[in-house]
């Protein structure tokens, strides 16, 4: 059953990515091309919150030039939120959908957005309001179940692996007389996909990173220190990628566990400064560390062309499948061939993408758990391939978010 000529609503949720707006551009362009002319596509500011507060904009009339700007700009053009719908908000939600005759709600986000989609679907159904709910995947964490990879991950992975290749070369240059250890902290509270992807930077034994620390494996400090020392003795230096969500054998996240330094003081920073302090304390090596934080999920200047293509295709497929009558689904990426890498977009029910988060399989790591295995490399390597530079102006990326027209 086709929803047209009813209108549609698009919103963005959760942490941004370098290519979230690429998905938006792909979705908007597909709607402009495929939906009946009288069906409008609206956008909500700050995700579902903008629906509740009636901050809607018109996306139907964006020009090709505006969509091109959008696709070359990181962040979330409409703004995002993380919000769990409360009982008193249910009737407002249905009122707003009804007022604008919304037949399809596209919610572009990660696991939280997928669960919100299920909630919206249940609320609309309870309110007797016919609504097709489409979860459009996005996350740098790569943890959405049922997919081969998620739009946003490949670009963050490319950024981190590039950064670690660069920083490892830096470290090696002066390790003889100065810092011998470098630690890069990556995002990922529950899954270590981004940290695993850092392993792509090493082309041969000895090239950094020498150690990967994922939350999938309990952190063993004594073993970690031994491995750092081994690398320094063998290669002269040791570069490390560590997940922010690294946990000890007690299941406590390291940086939140009230860890204290030698002076008994609590550590306020992230995992990287904490590990650096331990290394210096135990081994006497001078360390450098970096916390990439937002930089890794906003680096549109170093987006993966593969990721950009997948992000755009995901947005377009959401529209195409919905207009073809697919209901209450998520368009996810499925790998159809390893080498050469081939993929397609497949709709899966919302119940699939709201399942338990995907974690890195242990076979993606070397037997000792500190490196990327051949199997892990085969999975991750194609996702960072290709460059897709934004336009630059005056030496900086010329990011431009469209001026959206608010609805009255």
* Sole window of 84-92, 154-162, 309-317, 329-337 interacting with a second copy (rule: CB under 8 A): 154-162
* Residue that the structure tokens 């959206």 belong to: 404
Q: How far is CA 322 from CA 35, 60, 105, 222, in A?
A: 10, 17, 10, 53
- Give the nearer residue to a second copy in terms of CB position, either 207 or 326: 207
Q: Binding of a second copy at residue 392 (CB under 8 A)?
A: yes
Q: Least CB distance from residue 126 to a second copy, whole Å? A: 25
Contact between 174 and a second copy by CB under 8 A: the answer reads: yes
Report if residue 72 touches a second copy, rule: CB under 8 A: no
* Interactions with a second copy, residue window 15-34 (CB under 8 A): 15-16
Q: Which of 27, 59, 60, 74 binds a second copy (CB under 8 A)?
A: 74
- Secondary structure letter of residue 387 according to DSSP: B
* Structure token pair of residue 236: 């002269």
Q: Which of 101, 119, 99 is nearest to 109 (CA)?
A: 119
List active site positions.
141
**With binding defined as CB under 8 A, does residue 373 bind a second copy?**
no
35-64 positions binding a second copy, by CB under 8 A: 46, 49
Count residues near a second copy (CB under 8 A).
76
Instruction: Check: CB of residue 24 under 8 Å from CB of residue 36.
Output: no
**Interface mask (CB under 8 A) for a second copy, residues 243-282, using x and -?**
-----------------xx-x-xxxxxx-xxx--x-----
Tokens representing 57 are 């904009």
Residues 188-207 that bind a second copy (CB under 8 A): 200-201
Interface positions, 298-327, toward a second copy (CB under 8 A): 298-302, 304, 306
* From 63, 385, 405, 406, residue interacting with a second copy (rule: CB under 8 A): 385
5 vs 236 by CB, closer to a second copy: 236
The set of residues, in sequence order, having a beta carbon less than 8 Å from that of 19 and lying 6+ positions away, is 74, 151, 152, 155, 300, 303, 307, 308, 311
Instruction: State the distance between the two ends of the chain, measured CA to CA, in whole angstroms.
Output: 30
Among 23, 32, 60, 80, binds a second copy (CB under 8 A): 80
Give the residues across from 347 on adjacent strands. 331
Among 135, 158, 227, 358, binds a second copy (CB under 8 A): 158
Cα-Cα-Cα-Cα torsion 272, 277, 283, 285, nearest 10 degrees, comes to: 80
- Which residue number, 195 or 267, has a Cβ lying nearer to a second copy? 267
What angle (nearest 5°) sits at the alpha carbon of residue 31, between those of residues 27 and 35? 155
**Taking a C-beta distance cutoff of 8 angstroms, is the pair 297, 151 a contact?**
no
Instruction: Please choose, out of 124-132, 227-235, 293-301, 346-354, the segment that lies near a second copy by the rule CB under 8 A.
Output: 293-301
Torsion angle, alpha carbons of 113, 115, 121, 124, to 10: -80
Q: Is 101 in the site for a second copy (CB under 8 A)?
A: no
Distance between CA atoms of residues 288 and 366, nearest Å: 26
**Residue recorded with tokens 């016919």:** 130
**In the complex with a second copy, which residue's Cβ is closer, 83 or 98?**
83
């Amino acid at each position: 059953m086709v929803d047209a000529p009813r209108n549609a609503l698009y919103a963005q949720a959760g942490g941004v990515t370098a290519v979230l707006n690429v998905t938006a551009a792909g979705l908007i362009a597909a709607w402009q091309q495929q939906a009946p002319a009288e069906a409008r596509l609206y956008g909500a500011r700050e995700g579902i919150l903008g629906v509740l507060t009636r901050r809607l904009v018109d996306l139907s009339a964006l020009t090709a030039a505006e969509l091109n700007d959008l696709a070359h700009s990181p962040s979330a053009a409409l703004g995002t939120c993380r919000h769990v719908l409360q009982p008193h908000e249910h009737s407002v939600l249905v009122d707003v959908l009804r007022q604008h005759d919304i037949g399809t709600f596209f919610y572009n986000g990660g696991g939280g957005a997928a669960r919100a989609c299920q909630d919206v679907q249940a609320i609309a159904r309870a309110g007797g309001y016919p609504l097709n709910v489409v979860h459009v995947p996005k996350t740098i964490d790569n943890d959405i179940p049922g997919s081969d990879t998620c739009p946003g991950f490949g670009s963050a992975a490319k950024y981190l692996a590039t950064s670690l290749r660069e920083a490892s070369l830096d470290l090696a240059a002066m390790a003889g007389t100065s810092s011998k250890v470098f630690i890069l902290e990556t995002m990922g509270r529950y899954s270590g996909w981004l940290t695993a992807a850092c392993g792509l930077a090493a082309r041969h034994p000895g090239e950094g990173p020498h150690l990967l620390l994922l939350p999938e494996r309990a952190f063993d400090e004594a073993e970690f220190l031994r491995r750092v020392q081994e690398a320094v003795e063998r290669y002269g230096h040791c570069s490390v990628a560590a997940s922010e969500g690294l946990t000890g054998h007690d299941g406590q996240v390291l940086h939140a566990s009230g860890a204290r330094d030698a002076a008994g003081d609590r550590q306020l920073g992230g995992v990287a400064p904490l590990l650096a302090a331990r290394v210096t304390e135990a081994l006497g090596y001078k360390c450098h560390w970096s916390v990439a934080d937002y930089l890794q999920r906003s680096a549109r200047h170093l987006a993966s062309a593969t990721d950009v293509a997948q992000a755009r295709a995901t947005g377009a497929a959401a529209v195409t499948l919905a207009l073809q009558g697919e209901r209450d689904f998520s368009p996810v990426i499925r790998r159809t061939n390893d080498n050469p890498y081939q993929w397609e977009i497949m709709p899966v029910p919302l119940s699939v993408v709201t399942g338990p988060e995907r974690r890195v399989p242990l076979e993606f790591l070397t037997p000792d758990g500190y490196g990327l295995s051949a199997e892990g490399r085969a999975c991750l390597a194609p996702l960072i391939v290709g460059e897709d530079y934004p336009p630059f102006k005056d030496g900086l990326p010329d990011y431009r978010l469209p001026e959206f027209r608010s609805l009255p």
